[in-house]
Structure 1
């Protein structure tokens, strides 16, 4: 089994919303996935924590003054709090609860500021060993910062600036004029890494959009926008198989009467336009919790949570009546078709899609054979060869 997808809360504070902003026109589900990626790549997180703790401890041990001791203490507290918040957020996300995303993002920025402050102190100390170690550590952190946080490129840029920026601030106070090259080197490096984060972010969003569209296309009919067979089966599994205990469902099977004559008389373009109009009417008939699908040709299915026979008969009557109203095409043609409906219920007529489709198809066959424009609910007895009796509603 695949691991469940963890859903983390979007940032709520103004500053954290700015830090995690992914750009305009990014759908909420992709924003959520981008925020979730900030909680991922745990090996990079662990490597960064271990490195910053080791470097701050070694330099504080080499230069045991108050500033370096405070820096080391800050690194220890910051890393412990970050780890605790990260673990707590993952546990809350697994339980479907809100997560402390705002605090988590600000702790990441504070951690980067701590690295930069330690680098500044090391350069100002005049100890070339401490300075070398601190600068190497800060430079090494930048790659991990960008790779781990490119889902929020603004945050990545801020963290890189806080990590390496103090090298520029310390350069004028050092006795080596050569260090002034950092005024050109660090800003250029900061710009390059930030642009790389934005480029990776754009590629990630494009990939997510493509995956989202592919997933939609895989589960929806391209002509009408309704669910297709795959989407219908997934909805059934979600609503029935995954329910504990399974709740009742009704499968309403709709077939158009007279559609073939439209195709023969007016052509397939008119037929496609008619199917789109039928789908539009069907959307207006179903409830928000229902699933409407086109499963092929002129066959439609509605998966509904209403299971009372009287309600279903009224629903079937309304479908037949509304679908049978005349249609005005853009071409100016006024078309008339009818509809027949067969209904099966779960678990009464089966606990899987195939059983329900068989029972609903048998009820639909009865509606057709009895004169069309009928709604037939499958009987409670097993359906054999489409010849079982059913409850019939005749429309006058």
Structure 2
């Protein structure tokens, strides 16, 4: 019953999956969020694009040899393509479509390789102005790589290696023994920055886990795992915000008959176990797209997009029949409870939780007043009915009110 959130596709290729792997115990929704983080921070992305194109262009102007011209051309093509893929992915994610995540990741790796190539040819050119400019540019890119990609530590590590590793490869060709110190500096720098990226990644995953647990606890009943009143209200509000009241919806209000007797006879732990078993049966009966909730005590709600009276009454009858089957609480006790059902329709009976609950509760009152184990659909008169006190009567039928 909730709206579809914008999200980016997980990578499908073996290499890109390895580069972005977040660990074996990371839930799928957090993996999706981590991939989404790779597409963020557009200002940092734009700064890196402008910097690398400007540096490669200036160096190619200073040394207009083929290797430098090719480097400049590659930077322009790669950066423009990355920007296009980024904007395309953002648009498709908002539309709920497949995003070119694999291509986006490989373009990032290619860009880092291009920066490293430019650093190598600049260092080996013999022009120390060019070498200084290229090395400063490469070093400056490392911070942005870490900040934009700590959602994927392996990817960040590979990009840092490709960006700065060129200094190690170029050092033996420079004829300056002092430059061999980079064989100590660059590996240490790569290790420390990769370690920092992994630490940030762990902190991010831990924070995401905590946020999702808090959100789950806020919207779900801890005893049964069904939605609670808050989650039900949010789902209903999201439905009307998404469909602007054009799509009908049924609120099915179910109340157990005889639960208090079980609770008093066998204790609260047995009563809690019975509620869990009822929730399991309820969860197994609803359709994909419907939502089941427990709003307190022995009261349950189903939000359903099936709204035809015949369908609803048939579903109500199945609910009553399934809920009324015996339950085995432990090896010694088998108990039976009944169920009564009241149904309200949106927008006919209202478009907010309180109004719909009042109408469904009025129909439930009518069902109970005519005997337990009945299902009733609210009439228009239920709109003006206050919340009633439910009497305990006996009957068995599913009727349209």
Helix, strand or coil: the match of 2:15? Answer: helix
Partner of 1:350: 350
Partner of 2:115: 115
- Measured after TM superposition, the shift of residue 48 of structure 1 is 1.0
- Measured after TM superposition, the shift of residue 147 of structure 1 is 1.0
Distance 1:54 1:184 in 2: 30
- Measured after TM superposition, the shift of residue 9 of structure 1 is 2.0
- Kindly tell me: are residues 341 and 69 of structure 1, through their superposed partners in 2, closer, same or farther at Cα, counting changes over 3 Å? same
Structure 1: gaps spanning 5 or more residues: none
Q: Which moved more, 1:244-253 or 1:191-200?
A: 244-253
TM-score (norm 2): 0.91
- Measured after TM superposition, the shift of residue 229 of structure 1 is 0.8
Distance 2:212 2:358 in 1: 32
Partner of 2:25: 25
Output one character per residue of 1:294-338: Cα deviation in whole Å (capped at 9) or x when no partner. Answer: 000111111112222222222222222222222211262222222
Output one character per residue of 1:344-374: Cα deviation in whole Å (capped at 9) or x when no partner. Answer: 1112222222211111111111222223222
Partner of 1:395: 397
- Measured after TM superposition, the shift of residue 138 of structure 1 is 1.0
Partner of 2:228: 228
Partner of 1:8: 8
1:321 aligns with 2:326: no
Equivalence map 1:242-261=2 (5 Å): 242-244=242-244, 246-261=246-261
Partner of 1:145: 145
- Measured after TM superposition, the shift of residue 26 of structure 1 is 2.3
- Measured after TM superposition, the shift of residue 168 of structure 1 is 0.4
Distance 2:256 2:94 in 1: 45
- Kindly tell me: are residues 99 and 284 of structure 1, through their superposed partners in 2, closer, same or farther at Cα, counting changes over 3 Å? closer
Helix, strand or coil: the match of 1:307? Answer: coil
Helix, strand or coil: the match of 2:181? Answer: helix
Q: Is the contact made by 1:365 and 1:386 (CA closer than 8 Å) also made in structure 2?
A: no
Partner of 1:72: 72
Report how many residues are paired. Answer: 390
Partner of 1:84: 84
Q: Which moved more, 1:22-31 or 1:170-179?
A: 22-31
- Measured after TM superposition, the shift of residue 382 of structure 1 is 4.6
Helix, strand or coil: the match of 2:372? Answer: coil
Distance 2:336 2:63 in 1: 90
Partner of 1:59: 59
- Measured after TM superposition, the shift of residue 144 of structure 1 is 0.9
Structure 2: gaps spanning 5 or more residues: 389-394
TM-score (norm 1): 0.92
- Measured after TM superposition, the shift of residue 210 of structure 1 is 1.6
Helix, strand or coil: the match of 2:302? Answer: strand
Q: Is the contact made by 2:245 and 2:347 (CA closer than 8 Å) also made in structure 1?
A: no
Partner of 2:294: 294
Distance 1:237 1:245 in 2: 10
Output one character per residue of 1:41-78: Cα deviation in whole Å (capped at 9) or x when no partner. Answer: 11111111121122222222222322222222221222
* Cα root mean square deviation, aligned: 2.2
Q: Is the contact made by 1:366 and 1:387 (CA closer than 8 Å) also made in structure 2?
A: no
